[in-house]
Chain A
Amino acid sequence: SQTIHQWPATLVQPVGSPLSLECTVEGTSNPNLYWYRQAAGRGLQLLFYSIGIDQISSEVPQNLSASRPQDRQFILSSKKLLLSDSGFYLCAWRRGENEKLFFGSGTQLSVL
């Protein structure tokens, strides 16, 4: 069966510090991978998606970047965090087009 791992669960970082959130998927190959952000009590905002290694599409201009160095690994990064980067970050995967999306457990990021 397929599983998705996302870590850390909680992160508190000072403004201006770097960020690296990691997500890995097991039990499948060549998944579509996604990063979403959710502000408190709000909906899901798509940040990045990837359909293959080193293939990244950005949905919203921002202070963040994403990379996919391996087939089942998706990384969300920032060189210098802003206060506005605080939020709940969710990684998700699916097998391919028109397939169901499955989410990780999320990372609560607080930038202080």
Chain B
Amino acid sequence: GQQLNQSPQSMFIQEGEDVSMNCTSSSIFNTWLWYKQDPGEGPVLLIALYKAGELTSNGRLTAQFGITRKDSFLNISASIPSDVGIYFCAGLNTGGFKTIFGAGTRLFVKA
């Protein structure tokens, strides 16, 4: 079945640093989604990408839908302590009922 490889698995950074994480797949997706999960909470949608090459921002977050439709990245600029959490990428295709998730990137920010 379809799988997403998300990297890095975890990141330890200093407050104020920029962060970059990515997701790759061996198959094509029509939509890429990025979620953030705080401890003990459900994941919250951050950014949705619908078109190859699309670059979308949400505050300090920027995500891109890869040209090949097999990858996506998420950047966080000027990280702050509340950015701590697990970030999941997800892909879906037209006609499919399942959203495919990456294993998550655990972000730790030191003040």
Contacts and interface: CB of A to CB of B under 8 A. Distances in A.
Interface of A: 6, 32, 34, 41-44, 46, 49, 51, 57, 59, 88, 90, 92, 94, 97-98, 100-106, 108
A49 B42 contact: no
Given A41-B106, A43-B102, A108-B40, A102 B45 contact: yes
Interface of B: 30-31, 33, 35, 40-45, 48, 88, 90, 92-99, 101-104, 106
Contacts of A104: 42
Given A59-B98, A97-B92, A98-B93, 12 more contacts: A6-B42, A42-B104, A43-B101, A49-B98, A51-B97, A97-B94, A98-B30, A98-B31, A100-B48, A101-B45, A103-B43, A106-B40
B33 A100 contact: yes
A101 B33 contact: yes
A32 B104 CA distance: 23
Nearest to A107: B42
A101 B92 CA distance: 10
A105 B99 contact: no
Contact of A101 (B40, B99, B103): B99
Most buried by B among A41, A92, A98, A104: A98
